[in-house]
Amino acid sequence: MEKKGFVYLVGAGPGDPGLFTIKGKELLERAEVVVYDRLVSPEIIAWANPQAELIYVGKESSRHTLSQDEINALLAEKAAQGKMVVRLKGGDPFVFGRGGEEALYVRERGFDFAVVPGISSAIAVPAYAGIPVTHRDATSSFAVITGHEKPGKEVSSINWKLISTGIGTLVFLMGVENLEYIVNNLMENGRNPETPVALIRRGTMPDQEVVSGRLNDIVARVRQAGLKPPAIIVVGETVDLRQGLSWWETGPLWGKRIIVTRSRHQASVLVKKIKELGGEAIEFPAIEIAEEENLDKLYMAFKNIESYHWVIFTSVNAVDIFFRKLKSHGHDIRNLAGIKIGAIGPATSERLQKYGLLVELMPDEYQAEGLVKELQAMMKPGQKVLLPRARGARDILPLQLGDLGAEVEEIFLYQAVVPSSINNASITELLQQTIDYITFTSSSTVTNFVDIIGSQQAEVLSSRMKVACIGPITAEKAREKGLKVDIIANEYTIDGLLQSILADLADGN
């Protein structure tokens, strides 16, 4: 039986990827075709099925990639090919998203559709600016109105007399270019010129901007601030509540832009913490984890695992590869009975615990020197140590373990290589941006970052922003590569790195 196409109209929400719905994400991961708009976050697009065909149909004022008629036809065309199509629209598909038109067009051509609502910017953006659209002491009504209506229309589609005085809070979407027209119509139809107004640009995003005023002065204030689209306009008494309810712009990293150079699959923790603190995390992965092609030494170690007294892990990556291969070769953690486990750093220790293992040793100093120092009292000469780790790691650990009399077997599981996805466009974009901090979480991130953008450019960048390193070994590598190091974490962890950045900001540096 021939597969019949299906179209999902999915709302992507107001911008912050965290406000995307679970159902929308599930559909995006299964989609065969994704047709998406201009204001959909790249992070949301990144959740799409890697095999999906991605088609950009974004619209800007006076410039459309495709007309609405062409978008309608495209959806029907892809459905006719038997494809599962996700039409990804900013905000909610049925709130000025023309989702109704697209759904009718698809149905008229014999294809089924479903709607996945999105959080509308009409409510979410004011909320992120500390402005409730309703409040018991101010108003119990609000209206969402298009801001796109052009001045000079003979018959307005907006009942200005009714909305000017009959509704509490007015939210105009996409109305920056028509602000003066909107303001004048409201005042001419009876709205008090002293009514509070706020324009919110890129609401829910780390670079959100808010310009507040009154109907009689907001046009001048916006011009003075140079506020550009996309923005929404909120008119009403609840705007004044922003003074007490502002929350999104109060984080300690608010307004700060921070480059994260970790590999993409590891960066999520650091990126999430930066966002939680109000900062903007710019992902520029300088490493990619490439598993070793030949792991015969590891498989041989599995067969003789009972001969080892210690297994020492220096990274989360080593832990994951080790236990994935252990399982795929017919073994499990019972084979490690009686073997002591060592880990450098709390993240590695925590990952081992998730595999059901207790860690006998995690040094207070999260680097090789700290581990060796504490092993002196625990390890006996002649004991056998299995050291699964990254190719290119420092030699100090196997050498100093050998000095303690241990028999060390070092097995390379992976190496941190330069990502294949880096392109010249992303490098150019990075160099043009204003950045406050760049973070390095390992020597590999430093080496590869400099290799990617070039030593000259790296030195220029480090002079324009602050370089923050997770520990002294990483800082030493950064200096070796010609970078000026401003911050070294006291605790060699992601949290320690962030605390050091916060301390730097608190000192007014």
pLDDT at 486 exceeding the cut of 80: yes
Please give the pLDDT value at position 363: 82
Alpha carbon 169 to chain centroid distance?
32
- Give residue limits of the domains in the chain: 6-119, 123-249, 257-287+420-506, 290-417
Question: Per-residue pLDDT for 61 more than 60?
Answer: no
Q: State residue 252's pLDDT score.
A: 93
Task: State the chain's mean pLDDT as an integer.
Answer: 91
d(CA 254, CA 379): 48
**Given this model, what pLDDT does residue 488 score?**
96
Q: Which whole number is the average pLDDT over 299-323?
A: 94
Nearest to 171 by CA among 235, 118, 92, 128: 235
Name the least confident of 55-69, 88-102, 205-219, 323-337. Answer: 55-69
- Residue 500 confidence (pLDDT): 95
Confidence of residue 267 (pLDDT cuts 50, 70, 90): low
Task: Reply yes or no on whether 378 is catalytic.
Answer: no
State the catalytic residue, choosing from 25, 59, 325, 384.
59
pLDDT of residue 428: 75
| Token duo for residue 80 | 């006719």
pLDDT tens string 121-171: 999 999 999 999 999 988 999 999 998 876 666 677 899 999 999 999 999
* Fold designation for 257-287+420-506: Rossmann fold (3.40.50)
| Same fold yes or no, 257-287+420-506 and 290-417 | yes
| CATH number of this structure's domain 123-249 | 3.30.950.10
Catalytic residue among 78, 83, 174, 256: 174
pLDDT band, very low/low/confident/very high, at 2 (cuts 50, 70, 90): low
Lowest mean pLDDT among 247-251, 430-434, 456-460: 430-434
Residue 111 pLDDT greater than 80, yes or no: yes
pLDDT band at 509; cut points 50, 70, 90: low
Say whether pLDDT at 119 is over 90.
yes
Rounded CA gap, 264 and 261, in Å? Answer: 8
- Pairing mode of beta strands 169-173, 231-235: antiparallel
d(CA 120, CA 174): 13
Class at the top of the CATH hierarchy for domain 290-417: alpha beta
Dist CA 264 CA 245 (whole Å): 35
Decide if 59 is catalytic.
yes
**CATH top-level class for 6-119?**
alpha beta
Mean pLDDT of 46-74: 85
pLDDT digits (tens, 9 = 90+) for 200-250: 999 999 889 999 999 999 999 999 999 998 899 999 999 999 999 999 999
Peptide bond into 196 cis (omega under 30): no
Q: What pLDDT is recorded for position 505?
A: 93
- Distance between CA atoms of residues 502 and 253, nearest Å: 7
Closest-CA residue to 28 (of 77, 67, 70, 85): 85
Catalytic residue (one of 37, 92, 436, 486): 37
Residue 39: pLDDT over 90? no
63 — pLDDT class (breaks 50, 70, 90) = low
Task: Indicate whether 473 pLDDT > 60.
Answer: yes
Question: Mean pLDDT across the stretch 67-89?
Answer: 95
Known catalytic residue at 187: no
pTM: 0.79
Report which of residues 100 and 97 the model is more confident about: 100
